[in-house]
Amino acid sequence: MLKPLLLLCAAAAGAGWYAALPPRAAPLPPAPAGLTQPVRGAIHVHSNRSDGTGDLDAIAAAAAEAGLQFIVFTDHGDATRKPDAFRYRSGVLCIDAVEISTEHGHLVVLGLPQSPYPLGGEARDVLEDAARLGGFVIAAHPESAKPELQWTSWDSTLAGLEWLNADSEWRDETGWTLTRAMLSYPGRPTESLASLLDRPVSALDRWDALTRTRRIVGIAGSDAHARIGFRSLGEPYDAGSSLHIPSYQQVFRLFSNALPGTALTGDAAVDGLAVIAAIRAGHVYSTVDALGGPAAMSFTATSGTATAAGGDVLPLSGPIALRIELQAPADAQVAVIKDGSVLETRTGALVELTEPAAPGVYRVEVTLPAAPGDPAIPWIVSNPIYAGRDPAEPPPAPRPRATSFAELYKDGPAAGWVVETSPASVARIDEIKAVGGLQLSLRYGVGGAASAGPFAAFVMPAGPELQKFTQLTFVGRADKPTRVSVQLRSPAGPEGERWHRSVYLDPEPREVTVYFDEMTPRGPTSQPQPNLASVQAVLLVLDTINTPLGGNGTLWIDDVRYAR
Ligand SMILES: [Zn+2]
Ligand SMILES: [Zn+2]
């Protein structure tokens, strides 16, 4: 008597559970003639080389199952690991990139070679190093609910941002939505993950604001780890967590990045470069495949004889004809966004409209009526077409040339200079002959336990003239690419106060200028910029932010002076 009742209860509960599952993705009508399926892939994927749970082969196999053609791996690192060559695994093109932690958030960097020293520290320095090394830099999870994971250096020369980051979307959710998604995950995993997505308003607003002044590429970052994602831990994840939810395959089925202009040849070396070039150019749109797909879109704008696609600059020579063609259900809503505001929303799979010949930034968001989220997550998001924009980015305005100087060191003995090091590090100053007199050779070795904060520093007296000046200049070179922290130190407070600006040196001698108003605190200080009245020492510091532990080398320094 009891048994059938239990079975009945279980069946009723099961039916209720089934009825409560999120709806399946809608089937799409056939693609319009001429619209082909783009190459699709996942960007921002962690393997067990950092805090992911899968190895490269297993992750590639999961991507193949999900119908993707490429993966961009972004294990946490400082870019000193030599990246793997482009390679096909399970038919999926694998691109080895890196996620770098800076003091202003995380960066996903594609196309970097092995860096000669660790990349880290301030965002502006990592961006400068990545640009010198030829990398393409994307702000990861820029608007994460976790403040320490947000990107906070928007004034710098970022090349891209994640308008969508899956990990941020899980972190946003609490309470019933999350519980329901966890309950329905075993039955309909991809749709359950999709039910957690909302339109990431602040990231999209940020993107729109940035595109008003420069080109910046938007992508959807999977941030896939296959670790329990429904939690509020920091990043990297702690290794104790072993529940592999959501799985790589389900995250890969959730959304992807489509490269409409790219064709793969099967030659990994060629295809890897082509995929990175397409992302760099902004020839990419994102699709939330869990809502319907695989989606295909063509977005172009024509003015006179010139035609541009998403990511491109369109030179203006007449009215702008915008054309959006989709493989989409008839009730898809196509919003054309101009300069961050919705210009027009139309329904259907073909949208054509004409705009006057005036500068503007146009992008497209396509939404399906049944989409989850509040506000609803868009189904397709294009990159912008920059109409009437100068294709060359305006260079930053140069600071005026200095006209007044005070000498700190030139051609003589290093009067008053001393070295300071952590216990297991070494430093030595020598005067050596150079063209036109003497210069200083500064030799260092940085060693010891990373936890002890190893450093080697060359310290010169600041002298009484400092307060009258605005910058420090010197001629410097290094035996190899090196990043040196130039610091001003005041004895104020129990530990002293320091402000710094890091500079790049290599075997090519160059004049380096450090502006005092660009310096930032190292450790606690009483004010954000150097207190010049109390500064007593100028330091050149090598530490493990940008010097490998166990690394050593030589700097050559001459003509140290204050300027204004
Ligand atoms: Zn991150
Ligand atoms: Zn990540």
How many Å lie between the centroid of ligand 1 and the Cα of residue 163? 14
How many Å lie between the centroid of ligand 1 and the Cα of residue 64? 24
Q: What is the largest CA-CA distance in the chain?
A: 105
Cα–Cα distance, 278 to 311 (Å, whole number): 9
**Residue type at 351 in one-letter notation:** V
- CB of 446 closer than 8 Å to CB of 482: no
Cα dist. 402→8, 310, 409 in Å?
Answer: 86, 43, 18
- Ligand with minimal distance to 101 CA: 1
How many Å lie between the centroid of ligand 1 and the Cα of residue 303? 40
Instruction: For 278, list phi and psi in degrees, rounded to 5.
Output: -65, -45
- Ligand with minimal distance to 44 CA: 2
How many Å lie between the centroid of ligand 1 and the Cα of residue 234? 9
Cα–Cα distance, 386 to 332 (Å, whole number): 25
Q: What is the pLDDT of residue 184?
A: 83
Cα–Cα distance, 50 to 39 (Å, whole number): 27
How many Å lie between the centroid of ligand 1 and the Cα of residue 108? 8
Please give the torsion angle defined by the CA atoms of residues 527, 528, 533 and 539, in that order, rounded to the nearest 10 degrees: 120
- Ligand with minimal distance to 146 CA: 1
Cα–Cα distance, 304 to 11 (Å, whole number): 65
Residues comprising the chain, all counted: 564
Cα–Cα distance, 148 to 101 (Å, whole number): 11
How many Å lie between the centroid of ligand 2 and the Cα of residue 30? 36
Cα–Cα distance, 354 to 359 (Å, whole number): 13
Q: What is the pLDDT of residue 20?
A: 61
Cα–Cα distance, 430 to 372 (Å, whole number): 68
- Residue closest to 22 by CA, chosen among 252, 291, 222: 291
Per-residue pLDDT of the chain (564 residues; tens, 9 = 90+): 445 544 544 555 555 555 567 777 777 888 888 899 999 999 999 999 998 889 999 999 999 999 999 999 999 999 999 999 999 999 999 999 999 999 999 999 999 999 999 999 999 999 999 999 999 999 999 999 888 899 999 877 899 999 999 888 877 676 677 788 878 888 888 888 888 899 999 999 999 999 998 999 999 999 988 776 544 445 555 544 456 778 999 999 999 999 999 999 999 999 999 999 999 999 999 999 999 988 899 999 999 999 999 999 999 999 999 999 999 999 999 999 999 999 999 999 999 999 999 999 999 999 999 899 999 999 999 999 999 998 777 777 889 999 999 999 998 889 999 999 999 999 999 999 987 789 999 999 999 999 999 999 999 999 989 999 999 999 999 999 999 999 999 999 888 999 999 999 999 999 999 999 999 999 999 999 999 999 999 999 999 999 999 999 999 999 999 999
How many Å lie between the centroid of ligand 1 and the Cα of residue 106? 5
How many Å lie between the centroid of ligand 2 and the Cα of residue 99? 6
How many Å lie between the centroid of ligand 1 and the Cα of residue 137? 13
How many Å lie between the centroid of ligand 2 and the Cα of residue 367? 27
How many Å lie between the centroid of ligand 1 and the Cα of residue 200? 17
Tell how many helices (H) and how many strands (E) occur in the chain. Answer: 9, 32
373 DSSP 8-state letter: B
- Ligand with minimal distance to 223 CA: 2
Cα–Cα distance, 59 to 75 (Å, whole number): 13
Q: What is the pLDDT of residue 233?
A: 46
How many Å lie between the centroid of ligand 1 and the Cα of residue 139? 9
How many Å lie between the centroid of ligand 1 and the Cα of residue 316? 39
Map residue 25 onto helix, strand or coil: coil
Cα–Cα distance, 428 to 448 (Å, whole number): 17
- Ligand with minimal distance to 72 CA: 2
How many Å lie between the centroid of ligand 1 and the Cα of residue 105? 8
How many Å lie between the centroid of ligand 2 and the Cα of residue 194? 19
For residue 22, how many other CB atoms are within 10 A of its CB?
Answer: 21
Task: Give Cα 509 to chain centroid, integer Å.
Answer: 31
Task: Give Cα 262 to chain centroid, integer Å.
Answer: 22
- CB of 95 closer than 8 Å to CB of 86: yes
How many Å lie between the centroid of ligand 2 and the Cα of residue 360? 33
Cα–Cα distance, 226 to 84 (Å, whole number): 22
Q: Residue 559 contacts by C-beta under 8 Å, 6 or more apart in sequence?
A: 409, 410, 473, 474, 475, 511
Per-residue pLDDT tens over the stretch 75-106: 999 999 999 999 999 999 999 999 999 999 99
What is the Cα gyration radius of the chain? 27
377 DSSP 8-state letter: P
Q: Residue 551 contacts by C-beta under 8 Å, 6 or more apart in sequence?
A: 117, 445, 446, 542
Cα–Cα distance, 298 to 35 (Å, whole number): 7
- Residue closest to 183 by CA, chosen among 66, 14, 371, 375: 14
Map residue 527 onto helix, strand or coil: coil
Cα–Cα distance, 291 to 23 (Å, whole number): 9
451 DSSP 8-state letter: G
How many Å lie between the centroid of ligand 2 and the Cα of residue 474? 39
How many Å lie between the centroid of ligand 2 and the Cα of residue 438? 49
Cα–Cα distance, 21 to 113 (Å, whole number): 46
How many Å lie between the centroid of ligand 1 and the Cα of residue 232? 13
- Residue closest to 216 by CA, chosen among 96, 119, 127: 127
State both tokens at 428: 């030595």
Cα–Cα distance, 158 to 215 (Å, whole number): 9
- CB of 75 closer than 8 Å to CB of 50: yes
How many Å lie between the centroid of ligand 1 and the Cα of residue 158? 16
Q: What is the pLDDT of residue 1?
A: 42
